[in-house]
Amino acid sequence: MNIKKYLSIVTGAAFAAISITSCVQKDEWETPPVNCNNKFAATTMTMAAFKAQAPASGYILITNDQIFDGYVVSSDENGNFYKTISFQDKAENPTVGLQMEVDKSSNYADFPVGAHIRINAKGLRLGLDRGTVKIGSVDPTFSIGRIPASLLSRYVSGVCNGNGLEVAALKPLELANLNVAKNEQYINMLVKVPNVQFSSGDILPVNKTFIDYVAGAGTDTDRTLEDASGNNVVLRNSGFFSEGSKLLPKGNGDATFVVSRYNSSWQMLIRKTSDLNFAGARVDSAPPKGGTAIAFSGSFLENFESYSPTNLEVYPKYVNDALVGNRYWQLKTFSNNKYIQLGANSGSGPYVTYFAVPVDFTAASTLKFDVNVGFWNGNALKVYYTTNYTALGDISAATKTDITSFFTIPTAPLSGYGTLTPAGTYNIPASLTGNGYILFEYTGNGSGVTTTLQLDNIQVQP
C-alpha cells in the first residue's frame, strides 16, 4: 500500500467518525421504538363470566378460545406465594378474583403486582380446588394441575400499553372488618381492612416473629389478626417468607392482603410486611372490666354472695382483665354458693386473664382463698403479688412476684368437678408494704390446657 492510499483511508475513516459524532448532541442517542404486540388481540368475555362457569365441585375443561383480562395482585418476590398467581378483574373496585397454578417460580419478574394480563383458557381446567376456584393444566393426579413453565406463554400474556407491559397502580378494595373479608366473593382479591392488629397472644408475653423456625429452618406459620369489633382471622405465612424473622408489629392500623381460603379455613396472605401499616396505638378488643371502686384494705373477705346475675364479669372493687383472648372470670352458682370461674374449654386460641384484688400490704398479714378445678388437663392457675400495677392499666407491664407454690392447687378430677376447698395460707412478708394487688392469673388454650378454675372466699387478714 502506498502512502497516498493509506492517508486516503485514514482521512475517510476520520471524516466518517466526525460525521457520526456530529449527529448526536451531548451523548443523547435516540431510543429505538418499542415494538409491543399483544399476543391475544382482544378479549372474548369478562373474567366474571369466565369464573361463573366453574362447577360447584370438580372441574370443566375449556375447549374453545375464552379470552379475558386480569390484574395481578400476588407476588412471590418475598416467598409468601408459591407457584401460584392471584389476579382480579379490575385494578380498582374489582368484582371477581381467580388463582392460576403454574409450575414456575419468580413469577413477579414477568408479572409484577398490578400487571395487566390477558388469558386464553383454551386447554385449561377450571374448577373448585380445596376451597378456591382455580385454573390450571390437565393433570393425571390433581384436579387442577400446574401449568408447565414452558407452556405458560401459550395461555398468559402481558397487555401492552405502547411502552411495554402495562402495570396499573392497584387500589385495594376497602372492607369494613375482618368478618366481611371472609366471603368467597373476595377470594383472590386484594383488600384492605382498617383498625386491625395482631392478637395479644401473638405479641404477649413474647413478641413473635412472622414465622417460626425449627433448627434454623422456617416453617409455615399461622398468626392471628383481630379488628376493633373483636373479629379475627388467620394470617398465613410461608416458611420461605424472606421477611419471616421480623417481629410482628405491636400497633394497630390498615391490613392489606389477598383473601385466601384452604378448604373451609380462611387464611389471608400478604406480599410483604409493609402490607401491614400498624403504626397506630393498639385497640383493646377485650378491655379490663370493673375497677371503678378500688379500695385498698388489709382485712376483708370476698365470698361473691353480694353479686348477680350469673355470668357477671364486672366487679367494681376488682379488675377483671382478659390480657390475651376474650374470656373473663364469671360469676357462677352451685348449691346456693356463689364463686367466680374461668376455663378455656371450647375456646379458640390462647387465654390469659387476671383477677386483680387490691390489698394494703402494710396492714395485711395473710392471704387465703378456696379453689376447685374441673376437667383438669394441665395447670392453669398462678398467683402473684404486685406493687406497681395501676387499676385498668397495662397489666403486662406490672412486676409480678409468683407465690403459687405457697398454695395447693388441685390436679384432679380429670372428668367432672371437684369441690371448693382451702388452698392454703400465704404469710405476707413484713418487707412487703404499701398498696398493691394480689393477681389470680388463668392461662389456658382452646387447643391445649382447658382446665376450669373456680375461686371463692378470697380473704386477707391483718
Comma-separated ranges of CATH 2.40.50 domains in the chain: 47-158, 173-280
Handedness of CA 126, 128, 134, 140 (dihedral sign): negative
Q: What three-state secondary structure class fits 22?
A: helix
Phi, psi of 73 (to 5 degrees): -115, -15
Comma-separated ranges of CATH 2.60.120.200 domains in the chain: 289-461
Q: What is the pLDDT along the chain (462 residues), one digit of tens a residue?
A: 443 444 344 344 444 443 433 344 444 445 444 445 688 879 999 999 999 999 999 999 999 999 999 999 999 999 999 999 999 999 999 999 999 999 999 999 999 999 999 999 999 999 999 999 999 999 999 999 999 999 999 999 999 987 789 999 999 999 999 999 999 999 999 999 999 999 988 998 899 999 999 999 999 999 999 998 889 999 999 999 999 999 999 999 999 999 999 999 999 999 999 999 999 999 887 899 999 999 999 999 999 999 999 999 999 999 999 999 899 999 999 999 999 999 999 998 889 999 999 999 999 999 999 999 999 999 999 999 999 999 999 999 999 999 999 999 999 999 999 999 999 999 999 999 999 999 999 999 999 999 999 999 999 999
Q: What three-state secondary structure class fits 298?
A: coil
Q: Which CATH architecture has domain 47-158?
A: Beta Barrel (2.40)
Neighbours of 185 (CB within 10 A): 9
Q: Which of 204, 32, 190 is nearest to 114 (CA)?
A: 190
Q: Which CATH architecture has domain 173-280?
A: Beta Barrel (2.40)
Cβ–Cβ < 8 Å for 174, 139 = no
Q: Which of 113, 67, 118, 68 is nearest to 91 (CA)?
A: 113
Q: How far apart are CA 336 and CA 211, in angstroms?
A: 49
Q: How far apart are CA 74 and CA 85, in angstroms?
A: 6
Q: What torsion do the CA atoms of 373, 375, 377, 379 make, to the nearest 10 degrees?
A: -10
* Cis peptide preceding 287, ω within 30 of 0: no
pTM score over 0.85: no
Q: Please enumerate in sequence order all residues whose Cβ is within 8 A of that of 393, keeping only pairs 6 or more positions apart, or say none.
A: none
CATH topology of domain 289-461: Jelly Rolls (2.60.120)
Neighbours of 21 (CB within 10 A): 10
Handedness of CA 343, 348, 350, 354 (dihedral sign): negative
Q: Where are the beta strands (DSSP E) in 228-288?
A: 232-237, 252-258, 261-262, 265-268, 276-280
**What is the Cβ-side half-sphere exposure of residue 108, based on CA atoms within 13 angstroms?**
14
